[in-house]
Structures are given as C-alpha cells and as structure tokens.
Structure 1
Amino acid sequence: MTEQSFPAMSGTLVQPQPAVAPAPKFWRRTAPMLTAAALVAGLFGGVTGAVIASPDGRQASTSVVAQTVANQSTTDWTSVASKVLPSVVQVNVGNGLGSGVVLSADGKILTNNHVVASAGGSVTVTLNDGREVPATVVSTDPSSDLAVLQASGVSGLTPITWANSDDVKIGDGVMAIGSPSGLQGTVTTGIVSALDRKVTVPGESRRAASVSYQAIQTDASINPGNSGGALVNAAGELVGINSAIYSPASSSGEAGSVGIGFAIPSNTAKTIVDQLS
C-alpha cells in the first residue's frame, strides 16, 4: 500500500482517504488535539488534548499493513473478563474520569499521567465492587504519561498479572477494560493491529514536554475514559496501558472509536512503575 501524507492544517489533519472520500478530523474530547507519527487522540473524558503532527513540523505519514488474522473464537473471553475485572478501577478527577489497574493488594494503582495531571489533589477511585475510596497521587512520570496512585483504607485487592509485551504478535487477540464515558467495567475485544507504532503527544501547555513511546496498536474499541485501563492478552495478562485513540470528529462534536487505539507496552510501564515505586 502506498504511503500517504497528512497535510499540515490548523486545528485538523487529514486521514489517508481515496480522492473521492471526505477527509475526517483528528479529535480529542475537549480540545487542543494530539500529535503523532502514528495518529492519536486522547482517551480521558474532560481533559485537554493536542493536534496530530510530526515533531519537526513536517508532514507526518504512516502506512497500513494488511493482516490476515486467524479466527479468535476459541478464546474464552468470559473467563478473561472474570479474571481481570477485579484488577481494573475507575479514576475520578473533578468533572473528568479515567481508568487504572491495581498493582498491589493494599491499593497501589497505575494510570495515565494525563488522567491526574489536573487533579489538584482531589482524586478518588471506584473499585470493581462499587466502593469509592479516596486516593492520592504518589508519583508521576509525565515523559511516559504514567502515574501511580495510592487508594486509602483498602486491602485484599486483586493485582493485575503482568505479561511480557515483547512476546506480543500482530494478530494476537486482546481485551480492553476500563470506564469509557463512565461506563465502568466495560470490556471490548479485538486484535493487535501493529507493534512499535511511534506515538508523540505534545505537552498540554507551552512549558510541558511532549510524550513519546512505541505503542501497541489495537482495534479493540476504546473511548474517552479508557485512559489508564488495561489491555490484556487471551490469558488475562497485562500487555499494555490504554492511552490514546485516533478518531474523526462526529457531527455532535464528540470523539469516538474507529478501531485505531494505542497502548503503552507493559514492559515500558513495568520499568516506569519500578522507578516510581
């Protein structure tokens, strides 16, 4: 497939399309938008985003490789959901929300930095059993878009099981779990569409540094509110932290999934967690 370029535009970029098709916009809920060599928009409802562009200001381009995927119907996704749901929480920050994964029985939580960046100290987490408990931001790493929280007064939580993301292959079945638009405990399935997709997200202010990482691309449906949630393999092990999507603007002005999502690989996340803990 021939590579196509994305013309530089003010506020919007153009998706590769046949000449006769209209060009959709890259959107992030609540405005500025993301930038990326691989095309992304943020997932956290109620926070800021950025416009997609190449880091040096030149036109960004990407190519899509067609994949023939084996039938995934033999995977017992019911069992996967039952295993992982207790390890995923909703993160509540002011008028916005995101998702997080449980790292320890006593309430250590991993989420995206952009979920809590504007928290101002006011954070709660809603556990899988419905309890809402206060939480504090323990440490953050804006350069990787990851943050660690500590939920208060909890015990006996189910920590997520880590996978080796280096073992992930294109075509592997995956499940995304989180709270899109506040619908806690939502699960969606898909496949790994690409690996090592470079994603660069500019800072949310002029003084903030951009965030870059090599992402896992998936077509599992993820939407605003999924940020910080789990992307797991068929064994229910964490392969990535959902962090960004590409989505054209809808007529209502809201962003939605079109099957192009991005996750921070679990090996990257594990390295950062070890440094932050």
Structure 2
Amino acid sequence: MSTTPPGLGEPRGPWFTSPDLAHGGAPVRVLPQEAGPAESGSNRRWPRLLLAGVALVAVSAGAGGTAGWLAAPEAPVTGAASPPPAPAGTPVPSDLVTAAARALPGVVSVQVRGGASRSSGSGFVIDDRGHIVTNDHVVAGAGTISVVGQDGRRLAARLVGRDPGSDIAVVRVDGARLPALPLAPAGQTRVGEPALALGSPLGLSGTVTAGIVSALDRPVRLGGGARQSAVQTDASINPGNSGGPLVNARGEVVGVNTAIATLEGGGSIGIGFAIPIERAARVAEGLIERG
C-alpha cells in the first residue's frame, strides 16, 4: 500500500543541470538524491552541496503519485537573508482582492482517474465554449477526467488534445457555462509586478497565493523536452497547482503554473515557474483547432 500522502505526488524524472558556485558557475549534471552531506569544518563547500539538491519539479498532485520532471534554471542561485515578517494587520492591496475575485470563478480542479490510479491538478477556462487549459503532465495518464468548479459542481470533461513538449493540454466540458479568464496582452508583463497563483494545491481548491513576477525569460527544461523560457514567481506554488493560472493585479492570466524549485525533494521554497501565456495560448489554440 502506498505511503504517499494524498495530494503530494512523487517527483521523478531525467537528470537536471545545477549551477556549481564552487567551480566558477560552471554547470554540473547531478541527481537531487546524489547530493551528499556537507563536510564538517568546510564552509566553502556549502553552496555546491546546496545547489546539488536544487531541482525543478512539475507540481501536479495525486494520491497515486503523479509524474514530474526535474530540471534547473540556467542562472546561479545565491543565498539571501529572509525578510522580516510583515507587521500584524498590514492591509491587503485592494487590487489583489479584486483580481482574485475576478479570476477564481474561471479556475477549476482537474481530477483524473485511470484504473487504480488517481491524480489531480488545476486548470482555467480559456473561452466561452468550455475549453480548459491545464498541464499535459496532469492528464498524461488520463482515463476518466472531471473538473470541479468553485461552486463545487463536478463536471465530466473530455480530453481535446495534449502537447507534451510544451506541457500544455486542453480539456472540454459541455453544457456548462464557466467564465473564461482574460489573458494578459503580449509583452506587457513586468518584473516586480504583483502576481497571484490560483488553483488546488494539496487538494485545497480555490487557493490563492500572492507574490511578484520575479523574473522573465528564465530558461528551464519542462515536459522532458528542450529548454523553454518561463515566468519566474515567488508566489507559493505547490503540488496540485499544476495547470492553474498565474494572474496579474488586473486578473489577467500571465502564465500557466507548471513547476517549482525544491531542495532534496521538499516542497515549495519560494521559486516557481509558469509557461508564458502567449506560448500556452498559441499551443492551446492549435490543440482546439485539431481536436
């Protein structure tokens, strides 16, 4: 009997490249489980050993342990002191409250059953015909697909198409009106602007986490394919967020949440990655046309 806690999944995947600060930034190829303990009395070795355990994993979730991919950003990662906690009672910006209220009705939990296995992730409505964008790794082993909306309704869905190379898939629900999310205009996303990650992390539907867009055009390897540019964010992304939207303060989708950086296979450490919405929308449109 599996001991994997429901909603966590079990990351697995190919080799990844991790920056090696102890050797002038030259990348080395390691597996996360091969990172050894730091040598006692040697403070100079900790950056290399720390980074050897940094992986980038897709964040689908399921009781049966869904698949993920390991990769790594091209740029070195450096340590930084934790910021002081915000004072109690700090007001939440009203624009983020409005953005969350605007986007949540179009966000769904995507649940997949195939034989004895189950998996789950997130998705969002992209048009008025019931098409929902999610990650390919969420539905890769699809048997029966259903989505659960913010009102608790469970709706049967069918797979329209998959694109493993971009890690984008589209499913569709018929006979139900779900509000489509607006997409951010191409080229308008800026580093430092507020961002919200919406979805069902650990099976907790309707969850919203806040942060900023911390980098653009970050080269990472997703879907087991070639390197792709991604939107980097510090909004908390966890297993089950896969396929959900990353939205700006206007409630517009800027990316599809796909992966997180982890240490030694742990949870979110505050670095997440989303497929830019321009690419995701282009792939989704192609899948819809062919499907």
TM-score range, shorter chain: 0.7 to 0.9
CA distance in 2, matches of 1:23, 1:195: 24
CA distance in 2, matches of 1:75, 1:193: 21
CA distance in 2, matches of 1:160, 1:138: 19
- On the 8 A contact 2:71/2:220 being kept in 1, the answer is no
Taking the TM superposition and a 5 Å limit, the aligned residue runs for 1:226-241 are 226-241=241-256
Which of 117, 122, 127 is the aligned partner of 2:140?
117
CA distance in 1, matches of 2:78, 2:188: 20
State the shift of 1:9 in Å. Answer: 2.7
CA 51–102 in structure 1, closer or farther in 2 if over 3 Å, else same? closer
CA distance in 1, matches of 2:137, 2:174: 21
State the shift of 1:5 in Å. Answer: 4.2
- On the 8 A contact 1:75/1:234 being kept in 2, the answer is no
Q: 1:264 maps to what in 2?
A: 275
CA 243–50 in structure 1, closer or farther in 2 if over 3 Å, else same? closer
CA 211–130 in structure 1, closer or farther in 2 if over 3 Å, else same? farther
User: Residue 77 of structure 1: SS of its match in structure 2?
Assistant: helix
Instruction: Tell me the percent identity.
Output: 41
Aligned residues: 242
Which of 57, 72, 75 is the aligned partner of 1:41?
57
Specify every segment of 5 or more residues in structure 1 that has no aligned partner in the other structure, as ranges: 28-38, 54-59, 204-209
Which of 169, 180, 191 is the aligned partner of 1:159?
180
User: Residue 8 of structure 1: SS of its match in structure 2?
Assistant: strand
Larger Rg: 2
Specify every segment of 5 or more residues in structure 2 that has no aligned partner in the other structure, as ranges: 1-20, 36-42, 81-90
CA distance in 2, matches of 1:264, 1:139: 17
CA distance in 2, matches of 1:148, 1:61: 29
RMSD over aligned CA atoms reads 2.8
Taking the TM superposition and a 5 Å limit, the aligned residue runs for 1:1-277 are 4-12=25-33, 19-20=45-46, 23=50, 26=53, 40-45=56-61, 46-52=65-71, 61-63=74-76, 74-94=93-113, 95-120=118-143, 122-155=144-177, 157-201=178-222, 203=224, 210-249=225-264, 255-277=266-288
CA distance in 1, matches of 2:107, 2:156: 16
State the shift of 1:74 in Å. Answer: 4.3
CA distance in 2, matches of 1:215, 1:13: 26
State the shift of 1:26 in Å. Answer: 4.8
State the shift of 1:47 in Å. Answer: 1.3
- On the 8 A contact 2:166/2:222 being kept in 1, the answer is no
Normalising to structure 1: TM-score of the pair?
Answer: 0.78
Normalising to structure 2: TM-score of the pair?
Answer: 0.75
- Residues 56-106 of structure 1 show CA distances to partners (whole Å, capped at 9, x for unaligned) of xxxx85235999xxxx96452211111000010000012210000112334
State the shift of 1:142 in Å. Answer: 1.4
- On the 8 A contact 1:101/1:229 being kept in 2, the answer is yes
CA distance in 2, matches of 1:230, 1:168: 14
> Which structure shows the bigger proportion of residues in helix conformation?
2
CA distance in 2, matches of 1:224, 1:230: 14
User: Residue 271 of structure 1: SS of its match in structure 2?
Assistant: helix
State the shift of 1:235 in Å. Answer: 0.5
User: Residue 286 of structure 2: SS of its match in structure 1?
Assistant: helix
